[in-house]
Every structure is written in C-alpha cells, then in structure tokens.
Amino acid sequence: MASHKEVAKQIVDKIGGSKNVDQAWHCVTRLRFNLDDKEKVEMEEIKKMNGVMGAQFSGDQFQVIIGNQVSDVFAEVEPLVGVAGSGEVKNSGEKQGAVSLVMDFISGIFTPILPALAGAGLLKGFLALFVTVGWLTNESDTYMVLNAIGDSVFYFLPFFLAVSTAKKMRTNEYLALIVAGTLMYPTFIESFNAAQAAGTTETLDFLGWGFINIPVLNYDTSVIPVILSVILLKYVYNLVKKVIPSAIQLMFAPMIAFLIVLPLSLWIVGPLGTNIGNFVSDIFNWLFEFSGLFAGLLLAGLMPIIIMTGMHYAFAPIAITSIASLGYDSMVMPMMFISNVAQAGAAFGVAVLTKNKQMKQLGLSSGISAAIGITEPAMYGVNMKLKKPFILAMISAGILGAFAGWYGLKSYAMSGIVGVFAIPIFADPAGESASLIVSIILFILALVLPFILVLIFRFKDVEDDTTAVAQPEVEKEDNKAVEATGKETMVQSPLKGTIVPLSEVSDPTFSEEIMGKGIAIEPEENRVVAPISGSIMVFPDSKHAIGIKGDNGEEILIHIGIDTVSLKGEHFKGLINEGDRIEVGQPLVEFDREAIREKDIQTVTMIVVTNTSEYLDVLPIHDGTIFEGEHLLSLIK
C-alpha cells in the first residue's frame, strides 16, 4: 500500500537523495526541485511510480507532476529534504541558466501567495458580478465590507511579496516586512494622492544635500519595487553582519542595513522597479492593442506549452501591474481561461469516443478538473497521451484566443485557478455586462469546439489493457506464477443502504481521508458482501473491519460502524478468515445493526481505498439509496 510518505520517499531517493536537493516547493499540481546534480535523477523510474502523473525538466528545475494531492505529498517531502524545503541556505553545486534562474525565482515568489490572490480575486469578481446583475450597489455598506476583504491582498501586495521574496532569497522575512512597510507608509501615499489631485509631482530632499531627491510614489499593488528592494536587503544585510562584531549584531546590523537599503529603495530601486513594471506591461498591452488577434492566437494556443514549462508564472507580475495601472488584464487571465477550458473540451471528446472504460472515466473526471482550471490531469493523462486531442485543444484555444484578443476581452481581477469559477473576474466593476457575456460565450465555445473537433478527427484509441492497473504476480500453492485477470477497476457496493459522503462521517480518520478516499453507507440490512474479488488481508477478532487485496491491486477497507472495535466482536459474525480467497458478492460478515445502535454506537460503514495514492482519482458513482452489488466506486489509474 503506497502512502503519501512512501511516494515522497521514493521520489526523493530517485532524485539523488536529500543531499542533492538545493530547494523544494510545490504549486497547484507539481513538486518542484532545484537540484545540485541533474544526472542523478532517475526520470523514467519516477514516471512509472504510482501516484506520479509525469516528470520533466523545465530548464534546470525538475518537476514531478502529482495532481490534486500534491500538497499532501509535499508535506511528506519537506521533512525528508530538510533545509531545502524550509527556505534555509543550502549551496547548489551547479549553476542555472539565466532564463531558468528567472523562471525559478518568479515561480518561487508567486506560488506561495497564489491561494491569497485566488481567493481575494474571485471575491472581487463576484462583487463585480453582483453589481452587474443588480444584486448590490457599489455604494452599499455590504459592498464596502466585502470589497475591503477582496481588495486587501492587492492593496497590501508588497507585504505578501516581501515575505515570499525573503523566503526565496533566504533572508529574514521580518526585516523584509520593514521594506514593504516603508514603501507603503501612509504619509508617502497621502502625499502622492495629494500631488496627483493637484496635477503635480512631489520629491523629498533627503539629507538636505540637494541631489538625493526621493520621488513620492504610491507602491500599493506594485510588484517589482519590493522584490528588488528585498534582494538588495539580503546582500546588504549579509555584508553588514560580516563587518559588525557578533556581540552587537542583533541591534546594529538591521539598523545599518535599513539606513542603507531603504533610502536607496525610495530614491532609486523603487522608481526603477515601477518604471520597469510599467514598461513591460505597456509593451504587452500595446501588442494586444496593435494586433490583438495575432497576440491572442499565439498566447492562448501555446499556453499549454507555457504551463508545462512553468513559464506562466512570469506573466503574473505583468497581469498584476496591468490591473493596478489600467484596471484590467487583457492578456494573461483571458488567454489562460480559454486554453484551460479547451483542454477540458478535448478530454470530454475522448470520454465520448473511447471504448476503453478506464480512459472514458479519466476523460470525464480530468475534463471536469480542467474546466475548473487544473489542467494537468487532462493534459498528461488524456490529451497528450492520445496526441491528437492535445493538438486540437491548442488549435481551438488559438482560434478563440484570436477572437478574444481582437475583441479586447478583459479580466478585472486575478484568479489563481482559471476556469468556470473564474468567470466572475470578467465582470466589469462599473456594471457593464458585455465583457461578462463574452466570457460566458467563450467558455461554452472553448468546451464545444475542441469537443466537436475530437469527434470529427478522432484519435487512435488505447486498448483496454494499456490502462489497466498493473497486475502483480501471485504465487499459488503449486509455485506457478500467474497474472490476475481483472481489468476493470470497479468497486461494488458491499451492502444495501443510504450513501453518506465520507466528509460527513464523524470520525476524522475517515472524514479527512487520512486512510484514503472512498464513500460511506448507512446500512439497511445486516450483512456485508465482498465488493471485489481478491483475498482477505485483515480480519481482526472484533470482526468490525475487513481489509481486502483485490485482483487488480486495489486495497479496500470496509469498516462497519464508528468505534465498533469496543464491542470486541459482540453482535458480529464472521463468515470468512484472514487469508481466504473471496469472490465479488460473497458474504463476509453478518451483524445486528439494531443491537449496535442501542448501545449508542453508529453503524455507518466506510468503504475506503487505502492505496488511493496509486490512483489518479477515486470516483463515487452513486448518491441516495444503493443496493448490494451496485457500482459504488471507480478507481482511475
């Protein structure tokens, strides 16, 4: 049974061990590593691992594609790699290329703050949507409160960037916050606003020498100034610590660093960063204004390649700067939105056409995931595997991106995950509905166009056994190795009753999916039958739980009731023994549910796939009432 800990350990071992890891972090679906020696990576072995969807080098950064459970796996990777996962200093033995270094740096800064950007951006999008449809007015008290929540991360963005940059640069985060606090000091912001209202500019004559004239600027929502300033802080602070005696370092090193870094930041670094950000943003906005059709065609069409290499993080500062300076983004969010949904449409087309049952399930589940905005399962598990659907999705995205660029589709907020739930970010805060309507139309077309193209141009289907779960060899008594013959990874219902989502079970071991994914059933009869064919791995004396190893490698735990182990077998009758061979539908246990309930013990029964990490997804098939033997779960490899 492969747990997240086992997957993490195998990955770390196959990338050369913890000593080979210079830095480790993760994004929405991938583990990301900076390594000392790339030659130590066992790429093909990692790709074959259960729980891993793919692996690749993007420049000098090594990426392991996990999918939706990446945070769980990283939680086990982090203690294995030690300081590399915590942001402390560890020297790399190999220099990175310039482009790779920049990409790593940008992704390392923006990945940690994505949840804050996504949540706040989506809230701002919904607020704009509510104003557009007339549910709220932007002058109401409710709007004021909700807007403050949604706007906070963008207004105070320098503070978030200061912390993430400090972690990436491996310097003190609290000193970095002083940099952000100085740039955002209310006196400077008020002076800037007053000068703007008067149509003038204001400078401060620092030290009274007449040539250190600090321009008064507003750095809220800015990106590059605080990043450059924290980089400067790191090197100045380290230099100061080298020349200051250790006995007085605690007090004097930070103060001296501040006195050097902060005037320079206000005088040179901040204005320079502001100009760089505005210049880059202006170039891309000019490109879309000059030829939005061509720019949209290229960016939306090539977005899957950009995402695969991790270069999409480089667009984050541009989008943020554009929204801060212009009030909208016409490049990153619209094109990523179209591209993600197109991958979903192609995956749905595969689900309809393929004769392979598991690929059909995977096409459906990964298509839903891509429509939400997480595209790796659809890209790697379906579309790229079949090649033609991936190309058709890119062509569809390019066509629709060209229209969006020509039309000038705008997003008015950021969203960390760009899919169906990000549609509200296209609602104009002024209450105009045109951009919102166009985004909905493009969402529909981005689903339908690649779907139709896949149906027309088709693809070379995969045979059933190419997606079947790898079959272990089983030693029988005659010592002849045989292969298990089951090919469909399906779990039937072991009893009759009412479906209960696992998240609603009172025992956190199950509700938090610590044991794995699955479903629960409130029983209406007094027996449990085998949901799969295989052998009994675990059957304790208490008879309240059965662990089954299936012929297809699936490991199923049936746990009858909550805390029923305390009954010590009372009201339970076992019909099998540990080690027995069982067939699907065979009775396993009888129990007296009424007698159990009379003792104030719950009888809700959990059916859990304990080797969940070996599957791309575990899909409940039913809700409501289910009968014994009905299709309960599908395990997607």
Give 486's Cβ-side CA count (13 Å radius). 18
In angstroms, the Cα distances linking 140 to 131, 137, 604 are: 10, 6, 47
Residue type at 575? L
Measured CA angle at 442 (ends 124, 374), to 5 deg = 65
Kind plus residue range of the DSSP H or E element containing 205: strand 203-205
Residue 24 in contact with residue 274, Cβ under 8 Å? no
- Does the active-site annotation cover 264? no
Residue with tokens 């403050």: 148
Neighbouring residues of 277: CB distance < 8 A, sequence distance ≥ 6: 222, 223, 224, 225, 317, 321
Neighbouring residues of 452: CB distance < 8 A, sequence distance ≥ 6: 349
Neighbouring residues of 546: CB distance < 8 A, sequence distance ≥ 6: 528, 536, 538, 539, 557, 558, 576, 588, 589
Please give, one letter per residue, the 3-state secondary structure of 12-71: HHHCCCHHHEEEEEECCCEEEEEECCHHHCCHHHHHCCCCCCEEEEECCEEEEECCCCHH
Q: How many CB atoms lie within 10 A of CB 627?
A: 13
Q: Which of 12, 27, 55, 261 is catalytic?
A: 27
Class of residue 96 by CB neighbours under 10 A (exposed 0-12, middle 13-18, buried 19+): middle
**Which residues are annotated as catalytic?**
27
